[in-house]
Amino acid sequence: MDHEADAYRTDLMTITRFVLNEQSKYPESRGDFTILLSNIVLGCKFVCSAVNKAGLAKLIGLAGETNIQGEEQKKLDVLSNDVFVKALVSSGRTSVLVSEEDEEATFVESSKRGKYCVVFDPLDGSSNIDCGVSIGTIFGIYTMSHNDEPTTEDVLKPGNEMVAAGYCMYGSSCMLVLSTGTGVNGFTLDPSLGEFILTHPDIKIPKKGNIYSVNEGNAQNWDGPTTKYVEKCKFPKDGSPAKSLRYVGSMVADVHRTLLYGGIFLYPADKKSPNGKLRVLYEVFPMSFLMEQAGGQAFTGKKRALDLVPEKIHERSPIFLGSYEDVEEIKALYAAED
């Protein structure tokens, strides 16, 4: 028996231990955020398990059908939404929830209310489940600024007011990437322990990358700066090598790769979607928050993404995010248009 290996396995930085360590830096902290986060982590573990069993358990495409017990079976995205709403409400630490799956915001009943508002996409890229491509959960957390009745105004704030953001990617491994405003850390689920272990401490995105990620099927509808930028990626005039194109079509997978390897992810506005396609609150803001915390940038074509002030909970925006220098290039092209 390898005692040394066993000893090593006992000194693991789990996500719970990591968050408690962070909490100890703030003597006034009551542990509310830690409790909220542990409920989000539990939701991620549940969804990870459901995603892995999806093909076997016939969870795919069965919303509305009834199983032998007479229970209505749910599609994975509906199931994931239920899991996160229940986990967040039962934490007793939330007041307002905004989900991609729900048209209206959810206001937590007064007996279970807390000081946080959570915006989330319970299963981003769910159309990719059938072909086994990585999908994920994206979330962002705001603090309530008052003790009155919660309203949608409590979440219609710029992304620079978020206190934390992250995503959980369900792929070849289950990985949770989190920032509480002091850098970005990645945790991988060890299935034998049922724990997220710190595997990617203090993630920093390379200053410049050699990958661009965009749906080129929309190229005929793009504006001038986007067209010029992609042309430059493919046919650089300065003698530098062309960039490689990588596009999964699942935002979590594409942003995760961009964060680790560098490069740029773009979902611009176009003639079909003049306001862009990705939702501000639970896609653009959390991913922009993570990118900036890792040393990258996020830009909408007009301004810094985190400075946007949304007017509706499901508002959309164009987005260009990734390595600092790559985003600088697209900013220069938009500035030249003005």
Confidence of residue 257 (pLDDT cuts 50, 70, 90): very high
Give the three-class secondary structure for 258.
Answer: helix
**What is the mean pLDDT of the segment spanning 63-70?**
50
Confidence of residue 129 (pLDDT cuts 50, 70, 90): confident
Phi, psi (deg, nearest 5) at residue 6 = -65, -40
The pLDDT of residue 86? 97
Asked whether the beta carbons of 139 and 166 are under 8 A apart, the reply is yes
Confidence of residue 280 (pLDDT cuts 50, 70, 90): very high
CA distance 57 to 68: 13
The pLDDT of residue 64? 57
Q: What is the CA radius of gyration of the chain?
A: 20
The pLDDT of residue 8? 57
The pLDDT of residue 3? 52
Q: Percent of the chain, pLDDT > 90?
A: 78
- Chain-wide mean pLDDT for the chain? 91
CA separation, residue 275 to residues 113, 129, 271, 278 (Å) = 34, 27, 9, 9
Tokens for 55, please give them: 């093909």
CA separation, residue 210 to residues 126, 217, 232, 245 (Å) = 28, 21, 12, 9
Name residue 322's beta-bridge partners. 264, 297
DSSP E strand stretches across 191-318? 195-200, 211-213, 244-245, 264-267, 278-279, 297-299, 316-317
Q: Percent of the chain, pLDDT > 70?
A: 91
The pLDDT of residue 229? 97
pLDDT over 80 at 13, yes or no: yes
Asked whether the beta carbons of 277 and 251 are under 8 A apart, the reply is no
* Lowest-pLDDT range of 19-28, 36-45, 201-210, 212-221: 19-28
The pLDDT of residue 160? 98
**What is the mean pLDDT of the segment spanning 169-174?**
93
Residue showing tokens 């079509």: 249
Confidence of residue 67 (pLDDT cuts 50, 70, 90): very low
Digit-coded pLDDT (tens) for 261-270 = 999 999 999 9
pLDDT over 60 at 49, yes or no: yes
The domain ranges of the chain are: 3-200, 211-337
Tokens for 77, please give them: 């995205």
Confidence of residue 63 (pLDDT cuts 50, 70, 90): low
The pLDDT of residue 62? 53
CA separation, residue 75 to residues 116, 198, 325 (Å) = 28, 31, 41
- Burial of residue 39 (CB within 10 Å: 0-12, 13-18, 19+) is buried
pLDDT over 80 at 4, yes or no: no
Architecture of domain 3-200: 2-Layer Sandwich (3.30)
Identify the residue with better confidence: 149 or 7: 149
Residue 16 identity: T
pLDDT over 70 at 159, yes or no: yes
The pLDDT of residue 61? 56
CA separation, residue 273 to residues 202, 276, 278 (Å) = 35, 5, 10
Burial string for 294-328 (b: 16+ CB within 10 Å, else e) reads: bebbbbbbeebbbebebeebbbbbbbbbbbbebbe
CA distance 336 to 70: 62
Architecture of domain 211-337: 3-Layer(aba) Sandwich (3.40)
Asked whether the beta carbons of 23 and 31 are under 8 A apart, the reply is yes
**What is the mean pLDDT of the segment spanning 80-89?**
97
